[in-house]
């Protein structure tokens, strides 16, 4: 009997600069009967559990407390009545300033392996901007209203911005403006500082460091400058020296007129006058200063339902992609496959030849300074579409020639196509070349150079694969 509907339990885990928490979501996948390939799509997402929010536990300013953090999340699973084996997908996100902690990458990997069957570990400001826009509801609102929406998720170390249009995130950016750039106690004694806070103090001509008591007027002036800088880049490209220095990524693309603005993240709870979370930092000062600058934005500020939980809901409900229904796999392959870099191969349909295919594969490897056969990569052929049997045989033989080292070392050969041709390509390669094992072909995925993907076990007849497309940047940047 054909399977036309799949329900998956997903988890989103957010380890942020100020807080850590998780959420569980139920994802419903259905076949699209109007599609020629009848591929699966996520048609419904429901948050089924929102966990407690805790201060992110640190051993010191550079080290996450692994034991306390893992214990907390295990307790959350227990409170939710969910077993690890019940969770089929999701993502552990290490956000903002926390991503530069010395053990951040190890923490993400450990939490993702304990969180469920196929849970990605990821970090990176552009990715955070994307999932916050999805999790907050900004992307959905842009589809429902037809408006272009700029969303800004203000966390402890960064503000992650995204522009959504017609339900799609079309541009992302991040700046080192956040509520925990300075940590202070009740007496205004500085507990920790950051590169960004020091840059602002230098800009103002003052200097305070850990252990100093900072007058409240300077907290207000520091957050006033941070707020002005944030609004500057929400209105256009960074122009001031300070804004340029605090940018973590490239500017947003303002080729579209912004109709509405919305905020999420911990600071937004204070911004909208909700019951905010106080964490011995400058979050309340920053929220107050940003609010005074609302009139400088070119459109109205709206409030969406998901604020502090935007990232964690986005991680659990919006990180999964589904391949087309015509994948091909060798039974010897083991899943999940983690952290596979995507290399775009610019094969042109009208130039198909053995030499052209081989040279473009070599060019894609060279672009990332990779040696063929050194590691598992995914080659993405966006421009290749349906071809005659003879041309597919030629394509297969070119793959065999170009990836000889990988084949000799039994490294998985992963070929991904935008068009729905994966099954045909896989069968021809197995039948007509010496590449008989370790082959995986997927299709109907939209990827780009620099993506990393995790590939889960196939869901239906070994042809439909869950894929998490992500950023994997544990940055040691000074800007937070």
Chain segment 307-351, per-residue pLDDT in tens: 999 999 999 999 999 999 889 999 889 999 999 999 999 998 888
441 sits in which H/E element: strand 439-443
pLDDT digits over 155-168, tens only? 999 999 999 999 99
Phi-psi region of 341 (alpha: psi -120 to 50; beta: other; left: phi over 0): beta
For the chain, counts of helices (H) and of strands (E)? 14, 23
CATH of domain 137-303: 3.30.420.40
Strands, DSSP E only, in 258-396?
260-264, 301-302, 320-322, 328-329, 337-344, 378-381
Q: What is the model's pLDDT at position 475?
A: 47
Q: How far apart are CA 19 and CA 36, in angstroms?
A: 45
Q: 116-120, 437-441, 452-456, 468-472: which has the minimum mean pLDDT?
A: 468-472
CB neighbour class for 186 (10 Å; exposed up to 12, middle 13-18, buried from 19) = exposed
Other Cβ atoms less than 10 A from the Cβ of 258: the count is 19
The reported pLDDT for the residue numbered 472 is 64
Q: Tell me what the mean pLDDT of segment 419-432 comes to.
A: 95
Give the pLDDT confidence of 41-88 residue by residue, as tens digits: 999 999 999 999 998 998 887 889 989 999 999 999 999 999 999 999
How would CATH label the architecture of 3-124? 2-Layer Sandwich (3.30)
Q: What is the pLDDT of residue 477?
A: 41
How many angstroms separate the CA atoms of 233 and 124, rounded? 19
215 confidence band (pLDDT: 50, 70, 90): very high
DSSP annotation string for 58-101: EEETTEE-HHHHHHHHHHHHHHHT--GGGEEEEEEEE-GGGGGS
Quickly state the pLDDT bin for 21 (edges 50, 70, 90).
Answer: very high
Closest Cα to residue 304, out of 248, 246, 263, 265?
263
Return the percentage of the chain with pLDDT > 70, whole number: 97
Average pLDDT over all residues of the chain: 92
pLDDT higher than threshold 50 for residue 427: yes
């Amino acid at each position: 009997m054909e399977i036309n509907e799949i329900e998956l339990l997903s988890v989103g885990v957010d380890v942020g600069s100020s807080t850590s928490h998780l959420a569980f979501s139920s994802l419903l996948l259905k076949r699209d009967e109007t599609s020629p390939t009848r591929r699966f799509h996520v048609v419904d997402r429901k948050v089924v559990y929102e966990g407690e929010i805790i201060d992110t536990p640190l051993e010191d300013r550079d080290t996450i407390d692994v034991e306390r953090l893992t214990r907390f999340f295990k307790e959350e699973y227990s409170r939710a009545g969910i077993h690890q084996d019940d969770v089929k997908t999701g993502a552990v996100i290490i956000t903002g300033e926390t991503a530069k902690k010395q053990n951040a990458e190890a923490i993400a990997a450990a939490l993702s392996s304990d969180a469920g069957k196929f849970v990605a570990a990821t970090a990176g400001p552009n990715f955070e901007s994307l999932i916050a826009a999805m999790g907050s509801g900004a992307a959905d609102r842009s589809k429902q209203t037809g408006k272009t929406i700029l969303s800004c998720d203000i966390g402890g170390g960064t503000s992650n911005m995204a522009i959504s249009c017609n339900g799609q995130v079309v541009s992302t950016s991040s700046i080192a403006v956040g509520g925990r750039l300075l940590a202070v106690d009740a007496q205004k004694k500085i507990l920790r500082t950051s590169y960004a806070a020091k840059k602002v103090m230098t800009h103002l001509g003052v200097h305070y460091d850990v252990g100093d008591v900072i007058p409240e007027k300077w907290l207000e002036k520091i957050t006033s400058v941070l707020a002005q800088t944030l609004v500057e880049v929400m209105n256009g490209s960074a122009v001031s020296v300070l804004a340029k220095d605090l940018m973590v990524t490239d500017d947003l693309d303002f080729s579209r007129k912004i109709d509405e603005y919305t905020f999420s993240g911990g600071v937004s709870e204070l911004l909208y006058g909700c019951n905010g979370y106080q964490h011995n930092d400058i979050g309340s000062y920053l929220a107050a200063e940003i609010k005074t600058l609302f009139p400088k934005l070119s459109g109205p500020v709206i409030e969406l339902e998901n604020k502090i939980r935007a990232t964690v809901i986005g991680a659990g409900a919006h990180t999964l992609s589904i391949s087309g229904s015509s994948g091909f796999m060798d039974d010897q392959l083991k899943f999940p496959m983690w952290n596979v870099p995507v290399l775009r191969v610019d094969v042109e349909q009208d130039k198909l030849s053995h030499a052209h295919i081989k040279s473009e594969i070599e060019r894609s490897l060279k672009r990332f300074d990779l040696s063929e056969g050194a590691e598992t990569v995914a080659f993405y052929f966006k421009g290749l579409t349906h071809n005659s049997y003879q041309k597919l045989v030629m394509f297969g033989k070119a793959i065999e020639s170009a990836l000889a080292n990988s084949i000799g070392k039994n490294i998985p050969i992963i070929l991904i196509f935008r068009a729905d041709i994966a099954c045909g390509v896989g069968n021809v390669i197995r039948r007509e070349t010496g590449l008989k094992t370790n082959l995986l072909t997927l299709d109907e995925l939209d990827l780009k150079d620099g993506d990393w993907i995790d590939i889960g076990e196939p869901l239906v007849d070994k042809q439909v694969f869950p894929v998490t497309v992500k950023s994997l940047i544990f940055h040691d940047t000074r800007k937070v």
